[in-house]
């Protein structure tokens, strides 16, 4: 009887009801988003801390449903993952990023990095889809980086993990590099670093934010990650650099690459063109 009462409260909770309606509305909207041309990619530069050159750009998805404000990725990406819509959406993202990156890679030698969900990696034809897209746009080895997160492996069995590792290894053999995103935010970051074939570590913004606030533990931790990565021959990118002093400190600590509002927020492809020709941080 107690449980029934609880359920009833849940069903008629107006706030929860509102949230459910919103989810249903967003799911329906997302189904149209690819074909309706409502998706756009923005790009954020990844900058060499020593020389100031742009080395890569990260593709970040934006969704503006017709007649309403843009929906933040933190809201629609989880819905896309749960509904499986991330598969066609992710295919569109890769396609668009490769189309845009071709010219940037040819002229400036920069690579493009694309976020990939666990759901996509588990698709039977993922490797083939990535490789055929690279061929179609004539992108050479090294031009594409795929970003994965450790949370992607949270609920997987050892057999599934082995399959994911095999997929990543096959891609690497074809010159696709793998970056581990949001590094340091999960519970088993270090063990994943041992298990997964990774070329690049992206150190999460939560480290950067507290770095300059006399936080000795975070500083020691960040330094240890940077040293470990260097000895494993893994490149490091620090995320969320907003202040000049953070950039200076990180460079001194041995971090080669950074990304953040200090340099640029995510911007349109056209704005990337002008950033590449101006090269404002060199
Ligand atoms: P992420 O991959 O960790 O991307 C970095 C996020 O941090 C971006 O948020 C970016 O705008 C923001 N950011 C960059 N520099 C700074 C800074 O200096 N300060 C602060 N406060 N924030 C900064 P965004 O674009 O809202 O994306 C949020 C998340 O959505 C991404 O986190 C990623 O997990 C997901 N996402 C975005 N695009 C895609 C996509 O195409 N596919 C998938 N699967 N996920 C995506
Ligand atoms: Ca990312
Ligand atoms: Ca990240
Ligand atoms: Ca993130």
Mention every residue, 6+ apart, whose C-beta is less than 8 A from residue 213.
none
Kindly indicate the confidence band of residue 277, based on its pLDDT and cuts at 50, 70 and 90. Answer: very high
- Number of Cβ within 10 Å of residue 110's Cβ equals 19
Which of 39, 60, 261 to mutate to test ligand 1, by most ligand atoms within 8 A of the CB atom? 60
Kindly indicate the confidence band of residue 2, based on its pLDDT and cuts at 50, 70 and 90. Answer: very low
Residue 162 CA to ligand 2 center (angstroms) comes to 23
**pLDDT digit string, tens, across residues 10-53:** 567 888 888 889 999 999 999 999 889 999 999 999 999 999 99
Residue 5 CA to ligand 4 center (angstroms) comes to 38
Residue 183 CA to ligand 4 center (angstroms) comes to 9
Q: What is the pLDDT of residue 8?
A: 53
pLDDT at position 3 over 70:
no
* Phi/psi of residue 274, nearest 5 degrees: -75, -35
Which of 41, 73, 150 to mutate to test ligand 1, by most ligand atoms within 8 A of the CB atom? 73
User: For atom 8 of ligand 1, which residue has the closest CA?
Assistant: 60
Average pLDDT over residues 166-192: 91
Q: Which atom of ligand 1 is nearest to the CA of 202?
A: 3
Residue 2 CA to ligand 4 center (angstroms) comes to 39
**pLDDT digit string, tens, across residues 149-160:** 988 877 778 898
Q: What is the pLDDT of residue 10?
A: 57
pLDDT at position 260 over 50:
yes
- Find the residues whose C-beta lies inside 6 A of ligand 1: 44, 59-61, 72-74, 77, 93, 115, 117, 181-182, 205, 240-242, 259-261, 266
pLDDT at position 6 over 70:
no
Which of 77, 150, 260, 264 to mutate to test ligand 1, by most ligand atoms within 8 A of the CB atom? 77
Q: What is the pLDDT of residue 194?
A: 86
Q: ipTM of the assembly?
A: 0.98
pLDDT at position 218 over 80:
yes
Rounded mean pLDDT of the chain? Answer: 92
pLDDT at position 216 over 90:
no
**pLDDT digit string, tens, across residues 79-129:** 999 999 999 999 999 999 999 999 999 999 999 999 999 999 999 999 999
Residue 182 CA to ligand 4 center (angstroms) comes to 6
- Number of Cβ within 10 Å of residue 153's Cβ equals 19
Both tokens of residue 5?
């009462």
DSSP per-residue codes, 9-58: HHHH-HHHHHHHHHHHHHHHHHHHHTTTT-EEEEEEEEEETTT--EEEEE
């Amino acid at each position: 009887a107690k449980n029934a009462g609880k359920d009833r409260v849940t069903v008629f909770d107006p706030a929860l009801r509102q949230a459910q309606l919103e989810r249903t509305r967003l799911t329906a909207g997302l189904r149209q988003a690819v074909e309706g041309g409502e998706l756009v990619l923005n790009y954020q530069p990844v900058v060499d801390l020593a020389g100031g050159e742009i080395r890569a750009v990260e593709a970040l998805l934006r969704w503006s449903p017709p007649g309403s404000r843009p929906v933040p990725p933190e809201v629609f990406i989880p819905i896309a993952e749960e509904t499986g819509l991330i598969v066609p959406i992710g295919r569109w993202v890769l396609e668009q990023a490769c189309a845009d990156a071709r010219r940037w890679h040819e002229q400036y030698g920069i690579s493009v990095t694309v976020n990939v969900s666990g759901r996509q990696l588990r698709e039977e034809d993922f490797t083939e889809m990535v490789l055929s897209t690279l061929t179609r746009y004539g992108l050479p080895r090294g031009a594409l980086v795929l970003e994965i997160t450790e949370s992607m492996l949270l609920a997987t069995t050892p057999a599934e993990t082995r399959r994911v590792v095999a997929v990543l290894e096959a891609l690497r053999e074809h010159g696709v590099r793998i970056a581990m995103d949001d590094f340091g935010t999960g519970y088993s970051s270090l063990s994943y670093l041992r298990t997964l074939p990774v070329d690049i570590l992206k150190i999460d913004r939560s480290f950067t934010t507290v770095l300059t606030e006399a936080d000795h533990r975070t500083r020691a931790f960040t330094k240890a990650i940077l040293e470990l990565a260097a000895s494993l021959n893994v490149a490091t990118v620090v995320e969320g650099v907003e202040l000049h002093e953070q950039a200076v400190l990180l460079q001194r600590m041995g971090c080669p690459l950074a990304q953040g509002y200090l340099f640029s927020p995510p911007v349109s492809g056209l704005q990337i063109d002008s950033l590449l020709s101006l090269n404002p941080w060199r």
